[in-house]
C-alpha cells in the first residue's frame, strides 16, 4: 500500500498536527489497496486520457482533474468495468471526494460481492469517510489468512491507527514487513503512527528509512517533510517538499506549518497562564 498524499493536501485537511497525521493515515489507503488481492490491471478500456492510464500513485496534483474527468466518462459508459471503477474511485479519493468514491465502490461491490480486490477497495472507501468498523470488516473479508496480503495488513493497520488502537496497528504493520521487508509504504505508515502518538523522533526514523528504500514515492517523501517541519526545522522541510512540489507549494506548506505550530504554542502559553492564576487564587 502506498502512503499518504503530498503534504499540501494533508496539511490543508486538519487544524493540528495530530489531525494532520490522522488524515495522512486515512489517505494511506488511497493508492495501494486497489492493487491488493490478485491485482488490478493498469490498462483501462474506453476513452481514457494518458494521465488516467498512469498508475494512480504516479499522478501529480495537476494531473488529477484530467484523470478524474476522463475516468468519469469511461465509468459512465460501463459502471461494471472493474479496472475503471477502481481507478476512478482512487482518483476521487485523492481529490478529497470521499462520498462520491464510496458511491462508486458501493455500486461495484453489489455487482462483484465476492471479488477480493473490490472488497479491499470498498473497505478503503469506507475508511475514507470514517466508517471504520465496516471498513475493517470489508478488508478482513478480502484477506486470506493462509496467504496474507501485506497490503491488506497495512491497510487494516491504518484503520486501527485511526480508532486509536496503536498496538494493534503496529503489530499489523510489522506483520506486513515480515512479508515484504523494508517496504517503504509500510515503513511510512509506521512513521505516521508515531506522529499520532506524538513521538516525532521515532516517526522521523521510520520515515527516513522509508525514503531510502527503492520504490519510495512522493507521498513518502512528503510525509518526511511533514514530520521534519513539525519539529520546527522549516528550511529542511521546505527543501524536502520542493523535490516533489513546486517552490510555491512547498513554501505554502511550510508557511502553514509555521502558523499552525505558532498557534499551538500560543494556546499552550495561555493554558500555562490559566494554571498559574488558578494556583495563585
| Residue pLDDT, tens place only, 209-224 | 999 999 888 788 888 9
Q: Give the Cα separation of 77 and 44 in Å (integer).
A: 13
| Residue pLDDT, tens place only, 60-95 | 677 888 989 999 999 999 999 999 999 999 899 888
Query: Does residue 17 or residue 95 have the better pLDDT?
Result: 95
How is residue 144 written as a grid cell?
486470506
Segment 234-258 mean pLDDT: 77
> Exposed (0-12), middle (13-18) or buried (19+): which is 100, by Cβ within 10 Å?
middle
pLDDT of residue 10: 36
Q: pLDDT band for position 20 (50/70/90)?
A: low
> Is the pLDDT score of 56 beyond 50?
yes
Q: Which residues contact 148 (CB under 8 A, 6 or more apart)?
A: 175, 179
- pTM for the predicted model, two decimal places: 0.72
pLDDT of residue 165: 93
In order, the DSSP letters of 54-117 are S-GGG--TTTHHHHHHHHHHHHHH-TT-HHHHHHHHHHHHHTT-HHHHHHHHHHHHHH-TT-HH
Query: Does residue 229 or residue 246 have the better pLDDT?
Result: 229
* 207-214 long-range Cβ contacts below 8 angstroms, 24+ apart: 209/182, 210/3, 210/184, 210/185, 211/184, 213/182, 213/183, 213/184, 213/187, 214/184
Segment 156-169 mean pLDDT: 92
pLDDT of residue 240: 87
pLDDT of residue 22: 52
pLDDT of residue 110: 95
> Is the pLDDT score of 42 beyond 50?
no
Are 44 and 87 within 8 A, CB to CB?
Answer: yes
> Is the pLDDT score of 32 beyond 50?
no
| Residue pLDDT, tens place only, 108-118 | 999 999 898 89
Q: Give the Cα separation of 68 and 229 in Å (integer).
A: 31
> Is the pLDDT score of 151 beyond 80?
yes
CA-nearest of 111, 92, 133, 112 to 38 is 112
Q: Give the Cα separation of 197 and 217 in Å (integer).
A: 24
The proportion of the chain whose per-residue pLDDT surpasses 90, expressed as a percent, equals 43
The proportion of the chain whose per-residue pLDDT surpasses 70, expressed as a percent, equals 69
CA-nearest of 258, 245, 194 to 219 is 245
Q: pLDDT band for position 131 (50/70/90)?
A: very high
pLDDT of residue 198: 86
Are 224 and 211 within 8 A, CB to CB?
Answer: yes
Q: pLDDT band for position 256 (50/70/90)?
A: low
Are 73 and 47 within 8 A, CB to CB?
Answer: yes
Distances (CA, A) of 117 to 33, 128, 143, 150: 8, 17, 10, 13
pLDDT of residue 243: 79
Amino acid at each position: 500500500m502506498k502512503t499518504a498524499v503530498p503534504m499540501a493536501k494533508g496539511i490543508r485537511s486538519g487544524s493540528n498536527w495530530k489531525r494532520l497525521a490522522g488524515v495522512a493515515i486515512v489517505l494511506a489507503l488511497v493508492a495501494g489497496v486497489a492493487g491488493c488481492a490478485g491485482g488490478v490491471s493498469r490498462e483501462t478500456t474506453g476513452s481514457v486520457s494518458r494521465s488516467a492510464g498512469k498508475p494512480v500513485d504516479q499522478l501529480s496534483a495537476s494531473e488529477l482533474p484530467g484523470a478524474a474527468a476522463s475516468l468519469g466518462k469511461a465509468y459512465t459508459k460501463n459502471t461494471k468495468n472493474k479496472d475503471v471503477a477502481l481507478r476512478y474511485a482512487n482518483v476521487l479519493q485523492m481529490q478529497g471526494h470521499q462520498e462520491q468514491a464510496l458511491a462508486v465502490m458501493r455500486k461495484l461491490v453489489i455487482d462483484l460481492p465476492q471479488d477480493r480486490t473490490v472488497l479491499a477497495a470498498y473497505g478503503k472507501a469506507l475508511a475514507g469517510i470514517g466508517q471504520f468498523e465496516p471498513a475493517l470488516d470489508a478488508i478482513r473479508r478480502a484477506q486470506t489468512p493462509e496467504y496474507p496480503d501485506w497490503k491488506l495488513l497495512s491497510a487494516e493497520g491504518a484503520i486501527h491507527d485511526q480508532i486509536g488502537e496503536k498496538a494493534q496497528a503496529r503489530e499489523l504493520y510489522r506483520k506486513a514487513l515480515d512479508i515484504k521487508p523494508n517496504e517503504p509504504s509500510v515503513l511510512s505508515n509506521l512513521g505516521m503512527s508515531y506522529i499520532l502518538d506524538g513521538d516525532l523522533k521515532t516517526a522521523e526514523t521510520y520515515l527516513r528509512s522509508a525514503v531510502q528504500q527503492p520504490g519510495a514515492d512522493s507521498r513518502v517523501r512528503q510525509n518526511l517533510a511533514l514530520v521534519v517541519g513539525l519539529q520546527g526545522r522549516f528550511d529542511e522541510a521546505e527543501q524536502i517538499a520542493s523535490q516533489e512540489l513546486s517552490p510555491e507549494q512547498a513554501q505554502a506548506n511550510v508557511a502553514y506549518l509555521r502558523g499552525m505550530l505558532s498557534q499551538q504554542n500560543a494556546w499552550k502559553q495561555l493554558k500555562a497562564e490559566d494554571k498559574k492564576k488558578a494556583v495563585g487564587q
